[in-house]
Structure 1
Amino acid sequence: MTDQLERLGRLPLRENLRGLRPYGAPQLDVPILLNVNENTYGVPEDVRSAIVEAVQEAVSGLNRYPDREFTVLREHLAHYLGHGLTADNIWAANGSNEVLQHILLAFGGPGRSALGFPPTYSMYPLLAGSTGTAYVTGSRQENFNLDARSAAEEVAATGANVVFLCSPNNPTGTALTQEVVAEVYDAGEAAQAIIIVDEAYAEFSHEGTPSALELLPGRERLIVSRTMSKAFALAGARLGYLAAAPEIADALRLVRLPYHLSAVTQATAVAALTHSHRLLANVNEIKRQRDRIVTELTGMGLTVAPSDANFVLFGGLEDPRAVWQGLLDAGVLIRDVGIPNHLRVTAGTEKETSIFLETLESLIRPSVS
């Protein structure tokens, strides 16, 4: 890696990219993968068949460019989200990361800044840097929550042009109140800040947890970002999307690459949305395993962040790296997210969760502080 970085350093890179490492979690061949918040249940057989059939039909027209406006897909996404949304309110791209990149290309850039509240999704500063947008950070409470007043004050003080609010937050799993979103939105008025609520894990929220979709009417600078990677078990399909005022989608058309969503991607996503009830059937079981993890880790004497996502952040570890390695040696891969004394685990199937918990308990006692 040192030689690779030295060779890279000899190229005329932009200054803000020098010394950086690319984003990426370890990709290891182990029996139980609980490190990148994938849906470990996979795609049901009948939905796989429907997707294959849809893709097969799309393949017959691959000599032609796909629908540049992905109209049918936007209609299906609007129907899925509800809240009175129409296709005009929807934008989509190759994963929610590309959606966020489009937003920064349109509303960020040189001379502008984006604000995030770490610990949060580690791609935010990388996406900002790749678009020449300065990245500034706000603060969270000790329990990883955001206080509406202090968050709004930081938005106003920084004058940020783009604000990232992640709910449920990755890597902590904590959800935002609507008060936080509303006050942050109002605080960005002077800078005309674009407020992004990243709801990649929204389908896993506890019953009664509100979505920022409810706040969209009358807020033309508010964006709610979603993905089909998690609850829909389609991480390999790479389809992210957003809901916002129609003029937001109009702005993103100025920066997207031509025909950026392939015919195969569109066909896959439409087929999946047509069978959304089947793809989402395992969400409640994943939530049950998540809550089981929270309960059992708390019983082990660990500190556990309340989670509205499909993962759990836990702390109180004297040597988290040794625990991570011990789990890996047993065939269980989880994530070290860089928060001192903490690790993060995805909620998997009942069997995967049981193996994780049993292995962790065998490792944890001497590591609990």
Structure 2
Amino acid sequence: MTTVDDLPIRDDLRGQTPYGAPQLDVAVRLNTNEHAFAVPAPVIEEMRKRLDAELPELNRYPDRDAVGLRTDLAGYLGHGLGFERVWAANGSNEVQQQLLQAFGGPGRTALGFGPSYSMHPLLAAGTGTRWIGSLRDPDFGLRADAAVAEIHRHDPDLVFLCSPNNPTGTALDPAVIDAVLGAARGMVIVDEAYFEYARVGTRSAIELLPGHPRLVVTRTMSKAFGFAGGRLGYFAADPAVVDAVQLVRLPYHLSALTQAAARAAVSQSAALLATVEKIKVQRDRIVDTFRESGIPAAESDANFVLFRVDDDQKAVWQRFLDRGVLIRDVGLAGWLRVTAGTEEETTAFLNAAGEILGERGETSEHSAAKSARGTDERSEEAL
């Protein structure tokens, strides 16, 4: 049988495996940071109306530049943005790939600070861009002086920052981003895929766009909007960046159906984002429960929690799966990541964690009572 390595594949792709999390049919799926709540019925009805309007015209190409959708997204972001400063594609991965196609490539480099989103180096590899992996602090934060020192050391063409960071959940102080902008000669891409889950007072890098034409802030509708199946990502930047990306985008890359469904979702953003606070309560419930039980857990401004395990994380991951709870092994030795789900899903996870990691403090039942009260003490203390 012919294998990939028998084909004339690029040398730098030999031995690589495709990116992807396990897709398993289990009772509790908390491994891919999907929004836990289904799309509300009124939003589905609005999507249906807009999709029905597009069906008779499917023999025609869609709006190539998706101006209507970009206008809607600019309105959602605010900050005085117009459509000319927003670009959209099939998920934020495609958005970032287009940025690497335009500003990276053979002979150019991209720098990131790990542990962080594992797709960034894969996207770089796919575009022939050399990836430089620097490290965050031991507490998963990133200091401005440390970031600037790495930029001066490597002089990259692109810098990737993740805020809130995946898989740690850590948000960046805008002062760190501002320092990076001052040190980098190339593009600075801030991945804000999880920004809607951030705690009150967390500031977006979008605030830094004025006067910084090489800053790009990427977002997605896959997370807080519950639109993962719709595949829609976007960025905000200087209009010149939008012009540059259009040089490499595929023609008609966003289907008419994708644009219609996404516009419906943006028009119903209040209904879709109404459950974000419920997710944040469950996220904080997980962190509080772990810490009161003596289990280290990282600060999180996302819809997931990174927590420490004493044993081999692969074996612990399997023990959760054996109990019908699917979480994520992100390849970080001694750590696992869990998505904050519904109250019922979170309870199932905490029950499993109590059995696997040992009940060294607060029980999951006590934690459920705290969740029902809707407390958010940790978030208040962190501000």
TM-score (norm 1): 0.96
Corresponding residue to 1:41 among 15, 34, 37: 37
Q: Which amino acid aligns with 1:50?
A: E
Number of residue pairs matched? 361
Q: Is 2:27 aligned against 1:28? A: no
* Partner Cα separation in structure 1 for residue 38 and residue 187 of structure 2: 35
Match of 1:46, as an amino acid?
P
- Of 317, 337, 343, the residue aligned with 2:336 is 343
Q: Distance in 2 between matches of 1:366 and 1:20?
A: 40
Q: Which moved further from structure 2: 143-152 or 313-322?
A: 313-322
C-alpha offsets along residues 298-334 of structure 1, whole Å, 9 cap, x if unaligned?
Answer: 1221111000000000014223223211211111100
The answer (yes or no) to whether the contact 2:54–2:260 under 8 Å persists in 1 is: yes
- Other-structure match for 1:232: 225
Counterparts of 1:317 and 1:233, CA distance in 2:
33
1:297 shift after superposition: 1.1
Q: Percent identity?
A: 55
**How far, CA to CA, are the matches of 1:367 and 1:316 in structure 2?**
13
Give 5+ residue unaligned stretches, structure 2: 362-383
Equivalent-residue separation in structure 2 for 1:89 and 1:321 (angstroms): 43
1:365, distance to aligned residue in structure 2 (A): 1.9
Residue of structure 1 equivalent to 2:312: 319
Q: SS at 1:226's partner residue?
A: strand
C-alpha displacement of 1:366: 9.0
Contact 2:102–2:248, Cα closer than 8 Å, also in 1: yes
- In the other structure, the counterpart of 1:244 is 237
Q: Report the Cα offset of residue 138 of structure 1.
A: 1.4
Match of 1:63 among 30, 36, 59: 59
Out of 269, 277, 294, which is 2:262 matched to? 269
Say if 2:108 is the partner of 1:112: yes
Aligned pairs for 1:271-290 (under 5 A) are: 271-290=264-283
Q: 1:154 to 1:177 in 2, by over 3 A?
A: same
1:367 Cα deviation after fit? 11
Once residues 109 and 49 of structure 1 are traced to their aligned partners in structure 2, the CA distance between those partners, rounded to angstroms, is 43
Provide the residue aligned with 2:93 in structure 1.
97
Determine if contact 2:312/2:333 at 8 Å carries over to the other structure.
no
Q: Given the alignment of the two structures, is residue 121 of structure 1 paired with residue 117 of structure 2, yes or no?
A: yes
SS at match of 1:116: strand
Q: 1:140 aligns with which of 127, 136, 141?
A: 136
The alignment status of 1:303 with 2:296, answered yes or no, reads yes
- Select 2:174's aligned residue among 164, 171, 178: 178
Which of 153, 156, 159 is the equivalent residue of 2:152? 156
Structure 1: 4+ residue segments shifted above 4 A: none
Provide the C-alpha distance between the structure 2 equivalents of 1:60 and 1:228, rounded to a whole number of angstroms: 26
Listed one character per residue, the Cα deviations across residues 170-220 of structure 1 (whole Å, up to 9, x for unaligned) are: 00000001111011111113xxx1000000000000000110010000000
Q: 1: CA distance between counterparts of 2:23 and 2:266?
A: 29
* Aligned residue identity for 1:22: P
